[in-house]
Each structure stands twice: as structure tokens, then as C-alpha cells.
Amino acid sequence: MASNKKLLVLPGDGIGPEVVGETLRIVDWMAKKRSVSFDIEEGLVGGAAYDAHGTALTDETMTDATHADAVLFGAVGGPKYDDLPFELKPERGLLRLRKEMDLFANLRPAMVFPSMVENSSLKPELVSGLDIMILRELTGGVYFCEPRGIEDLPDGSKRGFDTQAYTTPEIERIGRVAFDLARKRRGKVTSVEKANVMMSGVLWRQVMTALHASEGEGLEYENMFADNCAMQLVRTPKQFDVIVTDNLFGDILSDCAAMLTGSLGMLPSASLGAEDPTTGKRHALYEPVHGSAPDIAGKGMANPIAEMLSFAMLLRYSFDMGEDADLLEKAIDNVLAGGMRTADIMATGKAKVSTATMTDSILKELDKLV
């Protein structure tokens, strides 16, 4: 029987296909054991799409993504594509998906599983029980604004430039998501910019502060400069609940938060569009925070957990399947507690396993839990 849940799978490059492949084994398990089936289509993105079609994303795949109920994404990029012209680079495929699906809200939760406390680069007491949400604005700012380019100067040198800009509506809509998230969590929002040196930061702070006054009743609120936030994240990360910030600072701060949890291979994300008020549906793409990891690609060592946790977010946010998401997260938690570790999260006394063996253990654990 055809499912009404349309899933577009875009594995991409490097470890993307490896971690997506392992996650599809979990999707299969869900279909067999939980009667949760999806109509799955697979497509090319990034370098893989460039190799086949000369572009990082074809119009057909773009259309498939807008018609899907959710997109499960791996990662794009790699040294093979370093010398391509800017507009042909694999990363442009992902940026086009984000822009054309209007995925303005990127939720990047950083949680420390109890047995992973020792894997953090910080002292156990600083990260034990850590649960923060970095909310990154994803369709504006310096990754998208024009003008940008590299121009020749009269003295024979060159000048490279980008533009950072945000409008009031762009700031307000991400701010509202931050307040909604905080209401369901511990009620605190930290808004992060550099209003001391950037005009877009000045507006960001004014708009967020006013939005808190008008719509943030009952929520604790603070403004923080991005450089201070980076420092605070490694000093006392548990002071944060929801951090809301722009595209560039969100990209950097979330990689930083990854190490609090033990590895970049542990951090999932959900990129969400606005809810259609009539259908209740919204565009959504789920991807790990990490990239294509060319240094370990093809070696069977990638940690598949960030991709699997992204699938758990997909179940929760796109299909309201919180119980199935909880089940998968519990299985991962138990397997980590049992001592299984891919190379990136290896610690003394633990069993170092391959990508596939990690999945085998998670599948066995799922079987035990149902």
C-alpha cells in the first residue's frame, strides 16, 4: 500500500552516503516493526549531482524536494571540487535547497548522553545533563546577500567582499521560533549578534529586544555578543537554553557546541519552513551538523548517530511521531551506555566499532525495546 509520507533522500558526498545508508536501515526497521512506511525517492546533490549533471542540484531534484513531506540529507563537498567556480560548488546545492524551500529556522540541539560525558572536551561537571538548542537563521545573512564578489583593484591587487544584511521581518520570524521553543523548554532565550561592530547586529538587537517586550512574556531574555557567546559556551554551557542567532554565527557556534557533546558526529539538525495555516504542513530538511568528512570517507569509520538523530527529528517534527523518535533515541542512548563507540567518540575501555557495526547494535537494541 502506498504511504502518504513522501521522503526525498539526498545522500550527497563523502560520508553522506555512508551515514544515510545506515539510517535507511533504521527506516526499514521502522517500516517492518512499527508499520511506519514512507514513499522514498532518492536524488543526487552536491558533487554527486555535479558529476552526473554538471550542477550541484538539478531543477527536477529541487522540485522533488518542494513536493516531499520531508527531505533527509547527508552532506556535500570535498577536495575534488575545490577548484570549481563558486556557483558550481557542491555546497551551492544545499544553499539552493535552503533558500527555495524557505527553510529559515535551523534547530541544532546539543545534548550530552549520560555515557558520553567523558567524551566531551570539557570537564564532566560542565557538560553532564547539558541540553541546549542553537536556533540558526538559515536563509539570510552573509551566505545569501548580494553584492559579493572578487574585484580587481587599480593597484593590481584584488578585493573579495560579501554582504551581511537582515530585515526586520527576517529577524522577527526567527525570534518568534526562539520564543516558541523556549516556552516548551526552560524558558530562556539568548540572542546573539555583534551589535557593537555590525549594523545588522544593531538592528538584530533592537528587533529582538522589542519582540521580547511585546511577545516574550514570562521568558527570561538576554542579548550577548557572538565572541562572548563562543567563550561562554566553553566556560559554562549549561547557562544556555535557547540561543538564537544569524546564519554565520549559528554555523560556527553549533560546530563549537558539537564538541561539548563529544563529537561533530553526534549533532543532528532540522531546517524548517513556516507552517502553511491551511494545511498545517511545512517544508523541512533534516541533516547532520557535520560535513562530508573527506578525511574519513570510504573507511567505514563515520559516526552515523548525527544522521540517525536527524531522522528522529524528522519523525518528531514532520510526522508527529514522537513515540518512534523517542524509541530511536533510547536505542542510541542504550548502545552508547553499553560502550559501543565509533572512532570519533572512542574512550578508554570502550569497544571501537565501524559505522555498520554501530548500526547493527542500534537495530538489535530497537528489537529489544519493542
Ligand X SMILES: CC(C)CC(=O)C(=O)O
Please report, in range form, the residues annotated as the binding site for substrate: 98, 108, 136, 227
Q: Which is nearer to Mg ion, 216 or 265 (CB)?
A: 265
- Looking at beta carbons, which residue is closest to ligand X? 91
* Alpha-helical segments (H) within the chain: 16-33, 47-53, 59-67, 90-100, 124-127, 168-184, 199-215, 226-235, 247-261, 305-319, 322-337, 355-369
For Mg ion, the binding residues in 248-267 under the rule CB under 5 A are: 251
DSSP string, 306-341: HHHHHHHHHHHHHH--HHHHHHHHHHHHHHHHTTEE
Residue 111 C-beta: closest distance to ligand NAI, Å: 16
Residue 90 C-beta: closest distance to ligand NAI, Å: 7
Does 137 bind ligand X (CB under 6 A)? Our answer is no
Separation of CA 332 from chain center: 18
Q: In terms of C-beta distances under 8 Å and separation of at least 24 residues, what long-range contacts does 183-187 make, across chains too? A: 183/218, 183/219, 185/131, 185/133, 185/241, 185/242, 186/241, 187/218, 187/219, 187/220, 187/241
Does 365 bind ligand X (CB under 6 A)? Our answer is no
Binding residues for ligand NAI (CB under 6 A): 15, 19, 75-78, 91, 94, 264-265, 287, 290-296, 302-303, 306, 344
Residue 85 C-beta: closest distance to ligand X, Å: 16
Does 13 bind ligand X (CB under 6 A)? Our answer is no
Which of ligand X, Mg ion, ligand NAI, none lies near 332, with the C-beta cut-off 5 to 8 A by kind? none
Among 13, 18, 91, 344, binds ligand X (CB under 6 A): 91
- CA 262-267-268 angle, 5° bins: 165
Q: Which is nearer to ligand X, 10 or 331 (CB)?
A: 10
| Residues in the annotated binding site for Mg(2+) | 227, 251, 255
Which of Mg ion, ligand NAI, ligand X, none lies near 290, with the C-beta cut-off 5 to 8 A by kind? ligand NAI
- SS3 state of residue 263: coil
Which of ligand NAI, ligand X, Mg ion, none lies near 78, with the C-beta cut-off 5 to 8 A by kind? ligand NAI
From residue 7, how far is each of 26, 72, 222, 327 by CA, in Å?
Answer: 14, 7, 38, 20
Residue 148 C-beta: closest distance to ligand X, Å: 15
Contact 49, 13 (CB under 8 A): no
Active site residues: 143, 194, 227, 251, 255
Distance CA 282, CA 272 (A): 7
Which of ligand X, Mg ion, ligand NAI, none lies near 302, with the C-beta cut-off 5 to 8 A by kind? ligand NAI
Query: Which string of x and - marks every residue 251-290 that binds ligand X (by CB under 6 A)?
Result: x---------------------------------------
Does 137 bind Mg ion (CB under 5 A)? Our answer is no
User: Side chain identity at 213, as an amino acid letter?
Assistant: A
Residue 290 C-beta: closest distance to Mg ion, Å: 8
Residue 251 C-beta: closest distance to Mg ion, Å: 4
| Residues in the annotated binding site | 78-91, 98, 108, 136, 227, 251, 255, 291-303
Q: Which is nearer to ligand X, 172 or 255 (CB)?
A: 255
From residue 86, how far is each of 149, 150, 160, 342, 346 by CA, in Å?
Answer: 10, 11, 13, 34, 37
User: Side chain identity at 125, as an amino acid letter?
Assistant: E
Q: Which is nearer to Mg ion, 137 or 365 (CB)?
A: 137
DSSP string, 153-185: -TTS-EEEE------HHHHHHHHHHHHHHHHHT
Distance CA 38, CA 4 (A): 7
Which of Mg ion, ligand X, ligand NAI, none lies near 95, with the C-beta cut-off 5 to 8 A by kind? ligand X
Distance CA 186, CA 220 (A): 9
Name the residues that contact Mg ion, by CB under 5 A. Answer: 251
Name the residues that contact ligand X, by CB under 6 A. Answer: 91, 94-95, 251
